[in-house]
Structure 1
Amino acid sequence: MVLDALRTATVTSDPMSAEAVSAKDRSMHHAVEDSQRLVASLPPATQQAVAGWNQLISANFAGDQACAKCHEKEYEAHLRSGHSRTLTRIDESTLASKLAETRHYQDPRRDQIFEFSQNEGSLWVRDVANASGVAIPVTWLLGSGTHAQTPIAVDESTQSGVELRWSYFANRDQLGLTPDHERFDDFAAGTIECFGRPMDAADMRACLGCHSTLTPPPSLPLINSLVVANVGCERCHGPRKKHVALAHLGHAEEAKPMLRYETAEAYMDACSTCHRDESSVKPDATPNELVRFQPYGIKRSRCYLESPDKMTCSTCHDPHDTVSHNRAVSIDQCKQCHGNASSSECSHQPTGDCIDCHMPAVEWTSGIAFHDHWIRIPDEIPGETPSVDSAGNLTASDMLHSDGEE
């Protein structure tokens, strides 16, 4: 594979020209062919285990489309959500062709130019100055594209890869530095560091695991064709093929969900698996980093702590749909618990905007803002001292990021 030449400190193999790499890979690096070739090279016992895994998936997982007939409303809502498109094969994206037309990207923090090309749908990236003769085939785009998409390259043969240095940002409709890659400004020429953050198998499983319905277990190699892309129905409801079969016979209730959420804690734990809580957040995380992790904030809120088994993510969000930006509806949801009793009225702004004051939007990076889900009174929020005009409304400065998407 083309990543192999970059595993050591310098490129020691005879470098191929970019043209030679392109010509060779027209026939050798199609995704399915790569996976098939890798499986064929595995020990017989591992090949048998991969076949068994495929049979297990086929026998138990129905796929999102199978849910549509009986759960049309939820299915249509899911198509609107970021979960439905949070992991995209680069050859199935529109970004690949756009980058191939753009051809170049100048890194804003390194003296470095990345070059893009497309062959048989696959997107290739090169750094001719620092990794001569090597082309990296992009494999996946992580992220729904609502805010951003970050590419990774997975080398199945070595079970390693790279999180690429550049990402696509929707708010600017252009490439920019991949978040957190400031710490990788220094790199060794002739190594995989030229292209971004090196990833081992555990890194790749962690990334793909949160952006997919299913990935192969650690006992099997990470093969792209074994990844069930996107967070689909069965990520949260468990395998449902038996349920679908019984539904066609009128006995759907006989196949109970494997995953059940009978308490608020269980529900929050499911969301926290990817959206993170205190169990997976770094102790030194900054406020602008923490704002990305909604369960972390919710679990620290009095709204959650003082309403055991009542408040979950779905109290305010439809778990199947995209995030609503109907502010009136959001405020009404707050009032479901904080009613009209005088003890529940907001002393700061009784008729104001609950979200702006108590869940202010905080910029994470590159103009992307998330609402802080640690619900607090303004005086408790670092750096938040909302000012009010004579009519009792928030001033323009406090309204600046009020419409930031989740």
Structure 2
Amino acid sequence: MLWMVWDAFQATPMMADAVPRMALSAAPSGASPADVSRRFAENLPPRIQQAVAGWNQLISANFAGDQACAECHEKEYEAHLRSGHSRTLTRIDESSLANKLAETRHYQDPRRDQVFEFSQTAGSLWVRDAANASGVVVPVTWLLGSGTHAQTPIAIDESTQSGVELRWSYFANRDQLGLTPDHERFDEFAVGTIECFGRPMDAADMRACLGCHSTLTPPPSLPLINSLVVANVGCERCHGPRKKHVELAHLGHAEEAKPMLRYETAETYMDACSTCHRDESSVKPDATPNELVRFQPYGIKRSRCYLESPDKMTCSTCHDPHDTVSHNRAVSIDQCKQCHGDASSSECSHQPTGDCIDCHMPAVEWTSGIAFHDHWIRIPDAFSSDDSAADLTASDSPHNNGGK
């Protein structure tokens, strides 16, 4: 079974924890990112090369790819292409942003006396800071994010298995660069180090970032090589490897290949979404309301709608899991009325015919003009600027005995 084989790759990490920081590169060598990855893989110890080859064979034998799903599931496939999940991770050489930045040529950091310079060569985008790291460049590797709201670049140095989350991000609402969220705490930096360019990342950091933005990344027992990453959150991220299913479908026996990942209860469904969208198990105790609004499962699990409707309410109650987020407010309100319908005790006493979403799930700004709807569904007078992950619990909800 695939997961048994998979476990064999999860054993001892290939790299020690004390991996050196990402090196500051010399001038561009003319090699493309693909060439760099290939050369790195070719120079690995034979034992590691053999393990990488085995991993590639495992993936090839079990994963079909999104396009294979389209043959029978055309509607879901087309919906997925509209969703942010289909473009959560973009190689910089495949991004239109690279050309745009190369034409812009520079960016002034709003909080540092620092100018980043951009250039493009060998299919890659290179970033310089001539004043603080003279003579060196950093090649951008990936853009994280669908671009609906923002995209944040990271650079991965395969040779050291470390990297950097770059100091600047692209914000769609302004169509321009701005400070990468949460980088206010990195205003101070050591000149001549990778800190000039942003937040240093070790192997665990990089795997965490790529893990939520991809269908598949190599396990810790293998080096993090860009070519081994299956970009974007595709069909098989949520449905599991389906190559056997595709092969049997061509023979008319698709049902014989049962999904390895099942969502038979609301809890298992929510757990799957929470892996990346987060719940209480991965939210900092001191998180503020504007941070919490990003973590929709965290809010839903504190809502009376969820707590008092076991095995009924999940993310897909309101959202098509394959499609982009709907902005049809009438449809969303109708979803509320499925439970809060005709009974007078279920009607809103404040605005019986009003907008459920605006009142009970208000939009909260996260950062840089980007807002998300608060998914902790509760009555308006319960919202407080002092709310935090530490003091907002299910028992504090106004819909429970301990509430206001």
TM-score by shorter chain over 0.5: yes
Corresponding residue number in structure 1 for 2:222: 220
Give runs of aligned pairs for residues 179-258 of structure 1, distance below 5 A.
179-258=181-260
Deviation (angstroms), 1:80: 0.1
Deviation (angstroms), 1:382: 1.3
Query: Does the 8 Å CA contact 1:6/1:191 hold for their aligned counterparts?
Result: no
Corresponding residue number in structure 1 for 2:316: 314
Corresponding residue number in structure 1 for 2:400: none
Which letter does structure 2 place at the counterpart of 1:284?
A: D
Corresponding residue number in structure 2 for 1:396: none
Give runs of aligned pairs for residues 45-64 of structure 1, distance below 5 A.
45-64=47-66
Corresponding residue number in structure 2 for 1:135: 137
Measured in 2, the distance between the counterparts of 1:199 and 1:161 equals 5
Corresponding residue number in structure 2 for 1:84: 86
176-185 or 31-40: which moved more?
Answer: 31-40
Of 350, 353, 367, 2:352 maps to: 350
Measured in 1, the distance between the counterparts of 2:122 and 2:45 equals 30
Deviation (angstroms), 1:33: 1.6
Deviation (angstroms), 1:166: 0.2
State the superposition RMSD in angstroms.
1.5
Q: Deviations over 1:274-327 (max 9, x none)?
A: 000000000000000000000000000000000000000000000000000000
Matched, 1:26 2:33: no
Measured in 2, the distance between the counterparts of 1:99 and 1:31 equals 18
Measured in 2, the distance between the counterparts of 1:174 and 1:380 equals 36
Q: Secondary structure at the match of 1:279?
A: helix
Corresponding residue number in structure 2 for 1:391: none
Measured in 2, the distance between the counterparts of 1:101 and 1:49 equals 41
Which letter does structure 2 place at the counterpart of 1:355?
A: I
Measured in 1, the distance between the counterparts of 2:80 and 2:383 equals 33
Matched, 1:150 2:152: yes
Which letter does structure 2 place at the counterpart of 1:41?
A: N
Deviation (angstroms), 1:7: 5.4
Query: Does the 8 Å CA contact 2:169/2:179 hold for their aligned counterparts?
Result: yes
Query: Does the 8 Å CA contact 1:209/1:215 hold for their aligned counterparts?
Result: yes
- In the alignment, structure 2 segments of 5+ residues that lack a partner are 1-18, 387-404
Number of residue pairs matched?
368
Measured in 2, the distance between the counterparts of 1:57 and 1:34 equals 22
Give runs of aligned pairs for residues 301-380 of structure 1, distance below 5 A.
301-380=303-382
Measured in 2, the distance between the counterparts of 1:350 and 1:383 equals 26
Q: Secondary structure at the match of 1:332?
A: helix
Q: Secondary structure at the match of 2:280?
A: coil
Which letter does structure 1 place at the counterpart of 2:141?
A: T
Which letter does structure 1 place at the counterpart of 2:264?
A: E
Query: Does the 8 Å CA contact 2:21/2:160 hold for their aligned counterparts?
Result: no
Q: Secondary structure at the match of 1:296?
A: helix
Deviation (angstroms), 1:32: 2.0
Measured in 2, the distance between the counterparts of 1:138 and 1:308 equals 45
Corresponding residue number in structure 1 for 2:3: none
Query: Does the 8 Å CA contact 1:6/1:190 hold for their aligned counterparts?
Result: no
Measured in 1, the distance between the counterparts of 2:49 and 2:37 equals 12
Measured in 2, the distance between the counterparts of 1:185 and 1:248 equals 57
Matched, 1:265 2:267: yes
Corresponding residue number in structure 2 for 1:293: 295
Q: Deviations over 1:62-118 (max 9, x none)?
A: 000000010000000000000000100000000000000000000000000000000
* Deviant stretches of 4+, over 4 Å: 4-8
Q: Secondary structure at the match of 2:273?
A: helix
Give runs of aligned pairs for residues 76-115 of structure 1, distance below 5 A.
76-115=78-117
Which letter does structure 2 place at the counterpart of 1:255?
A: A
Deviation (angstroms), 1:31: 2.0
Deviation (angstroms), 1:120: 2.3
Which letter does structure 2 place at the counterpart of 1:311?
A: M
Measured in 2, the distance between the counterparts of 1:221 and 1:378 equals 49
Q: Secondary structure at the match of 1:109?
A: coil
Give runs of aligned pairs for residues 33-52 of structure 1, distance below 5 A.
33-52=35-54
Measured in 2, the distance between the counterparts of 1:7 and 1:243 equals 41
Q: Secondary structure at the match of 2:146?
A: coil
Query: Does the 8 Å CA contact 2:20/2:160 hold for their aligned counterparts?
Result: no
Measured in 2, the distance between the counterparts of 1:362 and 1:254 equals 46
| TM-score of the superposed pair, with normalisation by structure 1 | 0.89
Which letter does structure 2 place at the counterpart of 1:187?
A: F
Deviation (angstroms), 1:6: 7.2
| TM-score of the superposed pair, with normalisation by structure 2 | 0.89
Q: Deviations over 1:117-136 (max 9, x none)?
A: 00022100000000011110
Which letter does structure 2 place at the counterpart of 1:42?
A: L
Measured in 1, the distance between the counterparts of 2:199 and 2:385 equals 33
Q: Secondary structure at the match of 2:218?
A: coil
Corresponding residue number in structure 2 for 1:389: none
Measured in 1, the distance between the counterparts of 2:227 and 2:91 equals 10
Which letter does structure 2 place at the counterpart of 1:370?
A: F
Deviation (angstroms), 1:332: 0.2
Measured in 1, the distance between the counterparts of 2:54 and 2:266 equals 36
Query: Does the 8 Å CA contact 1:213/1:232 hold for their aligned counterparts?
Result: yes
Query: Does the 8 Å CA contact 1:213/1:229 hold for their aligned counterparts?
Result: yes
